[in-house]
Amino acid sequence: MRGSLGVSGRADFRFILKSPRIWLPVLKTLITLACCLFVWSQVAFGHAVLVATSPAAGAVLAQAPQEIVLRFDEPIQATTLRLFDPSGHVLNIGVQADENNGLRLALPRSTAGAGTYVLNWRVLSRDGHPVRGLLEYSIGTISQPPASVLAQTSVARDAAIWLTRWLIYLCLFAVGGAALFHIRFRNCEQGWVRLPAILGLVLLLVDLALWGMELLDVPWTALFGMAPWRVALSSAHALTLGLMALGFLAGLVSLRVTRTGLLWLWALASVLLPGVALAVGGQVAGAYSWVARPLVVLHVLIAMIWVGTLLPLYRLLHAQVPARPDARRPSERWPGLALNPFAWVLLVALPLILSGLVLGFLRLGRVSGLLHTNYGNVLLATLILAVVLFFVAVRNRWRLAAPELRESFQARARARRGLGTELILAAGLLSVVSLWHFAPPPHDQAVVNEPSGPIVALENRAVRALVELPRLAAGPWRIEVISIDGVPLNPQRVVLTLGNPGAGVEPVEYVALRQPDGRWRVDLPALSAAGQWHVQVDVWVGDFKQVTLQGTVTLPKGPAPLGAPVGRP
């Protein structure tokens, strides 16, 4: 495998610029694509958000309701609705959609038993993105639902989705990068591209099957039926995967054509179609989609130019380095890449990083979310890897532009090792990007306007516990553990202790359960006595470190609403 640039490469480029028959169709295609993206952005939809429920989340009812109502901010399609009774059994319910973006669930008479009921719901928003959540309410008394009922996901399925997405991204970049590389190095053998292209097409089918499983929340055996495939094909994600498949096919075609104009057209299609697929896939829907959608296409295009061409460039360097030092021949010269490191930084690296920052913070909303949200954590990890990759890439570009690379096999070997490091970092970066499927932005998460009660702050010099009391005397107590500076902590265990010495109530410990939002929850019945209650929160911030926070609060008795508590840390 050899490549040459020399004068002929620059002459071909000047010939393209002087030939309207070659570049005019490409320009028309780009303008049409830009217009389509602008139209898409005007009709873009955000992810559906649960805005209200009846009964309210955490409510304690005197008698069983006749129906459950879920109200969203946009029309949705229900995919999974399971109601669990206090013992963990699934109850049969009837589902009916109303004209006010709601779902009405008719409940059977068997829901009259006392205890806590849990509704596990999954819906599909108009942009094709799945939204899921839990709704808990109790009849008479509060009970602890089984752990299997509170689980909203399958670890094995999520791991398969992440691995499939990562491998698809790797294959897309390999095929698209090879198509771009083939424009400049037409004499290089690119037969290896067939493997990632075929593998990518197979993985797209796997991803479609996993998407259907996630929408319906069904086991692996359901893939032998038609339900997961039918639901997946009817979602917007099928369009995303279809555009990616066209990207793979365009990359293969670009390696077969010989005419310069067609080569440019198919190569650009192979790198633009993945960006369009991600732009229409619902991941950039929202108020700023008119900016985000074209920016996603630009971001993916620049990433293809940078990361996608790494593997073909590494293979070209590998062919120029002999296995033994004594195998060198003076006539073998490195053809050169004509790379300007400053131009690469200004035209490739900086636009890629800046567009990524804009996209990230458009969805994050605030800088503090980098540490306090799952989406922010993934974005922060992506930024750290991108900065490291940037410095490694700058060093490699200086090596590739060095004059001694033309004569020295040792210099080419060092450049090849540097590109190998850059390839590994780029693959790691794509693996982190694949986690975004499991970390929706804060403003896209389904949040119910739950009735909240007053908050008691218990603290010492290092740790603060924010104890949210229930709106009614019976209901969930929620505990958020943060540092004294307001940074969320990740304790391993939290225990709430309540006692009323004046009323003869001895202290009782309640083990809290971790919730998806990072807070801890304890479901308690109505208090047996009013007056001054002693509140204690024990927090295990490490394997052997326990922090005890104490205070007193004035609480009423019975089902009357709680007044503003008086807490003394």
In tens, the pLDDT along 455-504 reads 778 888 888 888 887 755 566 788 888 887 777 888 888 999 988 888 88
CB-based burial of residue 273 (10 Å sphere; 0-12 exposed, 13-18 middle, 19+ buried)? buried
Q: Sort residue 186 into left (φ over 0), alpha (ψ -120 to 50) or beta.
A: alpha
d(CA 440, CA 479) in angstroms, rounded, equals 23
Name the band, by pLDDT with cuts 50, 70 and 90, for residue 12: very low
Instruction: State the pairing for strand pair 513-514/463-468.
Output: unpaired
What distance in Å separates the CA atoms of residue 458 and residue 462, rounded to the nearest whole number? 11
Please state, in angstroms and rounded to a whole number, the distance separating the CA atoms of residues 51 and 76: 13
What strands, in cross-sheet order, belong to the sheet with 67-72? 50-54, 67-72, 102-106, 94-98
**Backbone dihedral angles phi then psi of residue 480, each to the nearest 5 degrees:** -115, 125
| SS3 label, residue 54 | strand
Above 80 in pLDDT, residue 545? no
* 3 state SS of 258: coil
What whole-number distance in Å separates Cα of residue 193 and Cα of residue 189?
10
CA gap 56, 60 in Å, rounded: 9
295, 304, 306: which is closest to 341 by C-alpha? 306
Put the strands of the sheet holding 455-459 in their side by side order: 455-459, 463-468, 475-483, 520-524, 513-514
Which of 28 and 164 is assigned the larger pLDDT?
164
If one compares 516 and 1, the residue with the highest pLDDT of the two is 516
- Which of 148-162, 389-403, 437-451, 538-552 shows the lowest per-residue confidence on average (mean pLDDT)? 437-451
CB atoms within 10 A of CB 552: 17
pLDDT per position as a tens digit, 415-456: 888 889 999 999 999 999 998 888 776 655 544 444 456 677
Query: Above 50 in pLDDT, residue 74?
Result: yes
Does residue 13 surpass a pLDDT of 70? no
Residue bearing the bigger pLDDT, 82 or 26: 82
Most confident of 29-33, 319-323, 349-353: 349-353
Neighbours of 290 (CB within 10 A): 16
Name the region of 128 (left: φ>0; alpha: ψ -120 to 50; beta: rest): left
- Provide the pLDDT for residue 146: 72
Spatial separation of the C-alpha atoms in residues 557 and 166, rounded to whole Å? 55
Q: Are 527 and 510 in contact (CB under 8 A)?
A: no
CA 341 to each of CA 149, 284, 301: distance values in angstroms, whole numbers, following the listed order: 56, 32, 19
Using the predicted structure, report yes or no on whether residue 326 has a pLDDT greater than 50: no
Question: Phi and psi for 26 in degrees, rounded to 5?
Answer: -65, -45
How large is the average pLDDT for residues 338-367? 78
Instruction: Judge whether residue 524 has pLDDT over 90.
Output: no
Residue-level pLDDT at 389: 92
Please choose, from the candidates 86, 109, 107, the residue with its C-alpha nearest in 3D space to the C-alpha of residue 96. 107
Give the model's pLDDT for residue 442.
Answer: 62
pLDDT, mean of residues 81-95: 83
- Which range has the worst mean pLDDT, 58-72, 313-327, 395-409, 508-522? 313-327
Q: What is the pLDDT of residues 104-146, one digit of tens each?
A: 888 877 666 788 888 888 887 766 677 777 888 888 777 777 7
Whole-number Å distance between alpha carbons of 162 and 330:
49
The residue with greater pLDDT, 469 or 176, is: 176
C-beta separation of 477 from 521 below 8 A: yes
| Domains of the chain, start order | 6-43+155-444 (no CATH), 50-150 (2.60.40.1220), 455-555 (2.60.40.2480)
Q: Calculate what percentage of the chain has a pLDDT beyond 70.
A: 73
Question: Which amino acid is residue 437, in one-letter code?
Answer: H
Q: Six-digit token pair at 173?
A: 């970049």
Beta carbons of 54 and 107 less than 8 angstroms apart: no
**Both tokens of residue 354?**
């800046």
Query: Averaged over 239-262, what is the pLDDT?
Result: 89
User: What DSSP assignment string belongs to 363-398?
Assistant: HH-STTHHHHSHHHHHHHHHHHHHHHHHHHHHHHHH
Tell me, what's the pLDDT at 1?
41
Supply the pLDDT for residue 250: 92
Query: Which DSSP category does 308 fall into?
Result: I
| Residues constituting the chain | 569
Query: Greater confidence, 275 or 101?
Result: 275
- Looking at residue 556, what is its pLDDT? 57
Across the chain, mean pLDDT equals 76
* DSSP helix/strand/coil, 251: helix
| Residue 464 near residue 567, CB atoms below 8 Å | no
**Residue 101 region, left (φ>0) first, then alpha (ψ -120 to 50), else beta?**
left
- What average pLDDT does this structure show over 380-386? 90
Q: Supply 174's token pair.
A: 């390999």
Sign of CA dihedral 77, 80, 85, 91: positive
252 in helix, strand or coil? helix
Per-residue pLDDT band at 185 (split at 50, 70, 90):
confident
Res 209 pLDDT > 80: yes
pLDDT (average), residues 361-385: 79
Burial of 26 (0-12, 13-18, 19+ CB in 10 A): middle
Helix 260-279 and helix 237-254, axial crossing angle in degrees, nearest 10: 160
